[in-house]
Amino acid sequence: MAGASLLALPDDIALVLDDVAAMSKIAARKAAGVLGDDLALNAEQSTRSNES
């Protein structure tokens, strides 16, 4: 019985790591989108301030 749970442990760890990798990928994509929006907004504001 204990042997079966020990054999299942690597599978459980692999599933958790896969979930973490997927969530990290989504978080990185969202962060990149927010950063791109911020950069575009800052560029627009600096362009407007330079025109005045």
CA dist., res. 12 & res. 10, Å (int)? 5
Q: Does the pLDDT of residue 52 top 60, yes or no?
A: no
Long-range CB contacts (within 8 A, 24+) of 12-17: none
Give this prediction's pTM: 0.58
Among residues 3, 38, 33, the alpha carbon closest in space to that of 46 is found at 38
Q: What is the pLDDT of residues 25-45, one digit of tens each?
A: 999 999 888 888 888 878 777
CA dist., res. 33 & res. 50, Å (int)? 26
Domain membership of residue 20 as a residue range: 1-52
Q: How many domains does the chain have?
A: 1
